[in-house]
Amino acid sequence: MPLSDSRLPTPDPRSAYARIYAVVKRIPRGRVATYGQVATLAGLDGHARQVGYALHALPEGIDVPWHRVINARGEISPRSAGDSHELQRMLLEAEGVEFSLDGRVALRRYRWRERKDKQ
């Protein structure tokens, strides 16, 4: 008799979050990655929203450059509360990332591409 979905083991979100944070830590200054890109590199292909949840849950004082993750349109994703989107833009601009007049980052120019030959 097959197991129902409710009885299947669920992945530990803490380990998924740890993988997400490890990927985000590799994004260099002056570069950005998309939520989907981070998800794929963390082994969570198709789970871009989980990257957003992980970054939202990031404990204060942890050295993870959350501000380097933007959406697939090259925009800073709006937040439901607070002004962290303004802080995110300021942090990116301080690293040399430029925004167009409509608030987008040129992904062709600033997207982080992890080198395949890295050992």
DSSP secondary structure string for all residues of 54-65:
HHHTPPTT----
Say if 66 falls within a structural domain. no
Domain housing 27: 12-58+72-110
> Is there a domain that residue 117 lies in?
no
Q: Into how many domains does the chain fold?
A: 1
pTM (2 d.p.):
0.83
Residue 35 has pLDDT above 60, yes or no: yes
Inside any domain, residue 31: yes
Q: What are the backbone angles phi and psi of residue 112, rounded to the nearest 5°?
A: -75, 130
Any domain includes 5: no
User: Do the domain assignments include residue 67?
Assistant: no
In a domain, 116, yes or no: no
Does 63 map to a domain?
no
| pLDDT tens track for 61-109 | 889 999 999 999 999 998 766 778 899 999 999 999 999 999 999 999 9
Other CB atoms within a 10 A radius of the CB of residue 22 amount to 12
Instruction: Please name the helix (run of DSSP H) or strand (run of DSSP E) that holds residue 69, with its range, or none.
Output: strand 69-70
Here the CATH number for the domain that contains residue 101 is 1.10.10.10
Strand partners, 70: 34
Q: Rounded to the nearest 5°, which phi and psi values hold at 48?
A: -60, -40
